[in-house]
Amino acid sequence: MRRREFFTLAGAAVMWPRAAAAQPKPMPVIGILDPDVTFIFDAFIEGMRDLGYVEGRNIAYVRKVIQGRPQSIPSLIAELVELKPDVIVTVSPGLPLAVQRATTSIPIIFLAAGDPVSYGTVGSLAHPGGNITGLSFLDDDLSAKRLDLLRELIPNLKDVAVFWRGERSKSTALAATERAGQNLGFQLREWNLPTVESFEPAFQEAAAAKVGAVDVLAYPFFNANRDRFAQLAEKYRLPAIYESADYVRSGCLMGYGPVFTDMGRRGAYFVDKILKGAKPSDLPVEITTKFELSINLKAAEALGVEIPPTLLARADEVIE
């Protein structure tokens, strides 16, 4: 049996039978739709534990992990909804909407998402509406900051490769990066990376185009393949910036963005409120204000990049 089909009860791995979905649940059940960023959900469960929810004693979790197969998302959502959990927890702006298409009654919490208003996930930050709310970070400010950090890292930087994924019309991160690039006077060259197999051709083409650096935008699928990005950036000697410190701890050069584990832990607050009777529509979306800059000196050496002392001084984490 696959891992994504299990939940934990009293310390044992137990199948939740489909036929039992309509039966009374002995304790609240939280459904998790994980697009391969398990560390965020591990932090969420830690946050729940801090609030007194002990797995197997007074809370149960049903995990559905996408495992690099986006085509499985509809079936995984259907499986979760059929189990009728008390809350469904996920990340990114698009997945909550996909879940909502399957249920308008089960509360949905997103632990980390780009601008949910621009994406259409919620009606407004103060009044989300519907059955969705959660935690967010704003793409515009982060996009501009990452490009500005690349300019500080590489003097006279002009051409920047942008790696993104998905549908252009729905990518708020790409739109924000394009606006920031125009304001900063950069020439952006864009590559859409739908699969892991598309990574290396993109790096190869970017290197051949002699871009000065790469901006890897924020997508759970990219985060799940951090090691591959580190390998290819070193192979093609392309300095790159990423969405968070998690990439840097996996061998990438530089990351700037939210502390996703903190957002995961904070998500427990929303679930606790809902389990105590609150409605998602009455819980305003929270915008995180905590960001961190992380730099990997070993990666810099491999890339032949010298980190300016002013940049090192501002880093929250320096990996040697």
**Pair of tokens at residue 68:** 């690099």
- DSSP 8-state class, residue 12: E
Question: Under CATH, domain 3-137+260-287 is a member of which superfamily?
Answer: Response regulator (3.40.50.2300)
Query: Token match 């039978």: residue?
Result: 17
Q: How confident is the model at residue 25 (pLDDT cuts 50, 70, 90)?
A: low
Domains 3-137+260-287 and 139-257+291-319 share a fold: yes
Could you report the per-residue pLDDT of 190-235, keeping only the tens digit for each? 999 999 999 999 999 999 999 999 999 988 899 999 999 999 999 9
Q: Residue 301: is its pLDDT beyond 70? A: yes
Sheet of 108-110, strand order: 12-15, 6-9, 60-65, 29-34, 87-90, 108-110, 132-136, 286-287
The residues with which 62 forms a beta bridge, in sequence order, are: 7, 31
Question: In degrees to the nearest 10, what's the CA dihedral of 110, 165, 71, 37?
Answer: -40
Nearby residues of 1 by Cβ (< 8 Å), 6 or more positions away = 15
> Tens of pLDDT along 85-133?
999 999 988 899 999 999 999 999 999 998 888 888 999 999 999 999 9
pLDDT at 147: 96
214 three-state secondary structure: strand
Pairing of strands 187-192, 159-164: parallel
- Residue 11's pLDDT is 35
φ and ψ at 149, to 5 degrees?
-65, -40
- Using an 8 Å Cβ cutoff, are 206 and 189 in contact? yes
Cα-Cα end-to-end distance for the chain: 41
CATH superfamily, domain 139-257+291-319, is: Response regulator (3.40.50.2300)
Inter-CA distances, 134 with 121, 149, 222, 227, Å: 10, 28, 22, 29
User: Is the pLDDT score of 74 beyond 80?
Assistant: yes
Q: Hey, where are the domains in the chain?
A: 3-137+260-287, 139-257+291-319
Instruction: Taking residues 145-160, report their average pLDDT.
Output: 95
Confidence at residue 10, expressed as pLDDT on a 0 to 100 scale: 33
> What does the pLDDT look like over 37-61, one tens digit per residue?
999 999 999 999 999 999 999 999 9
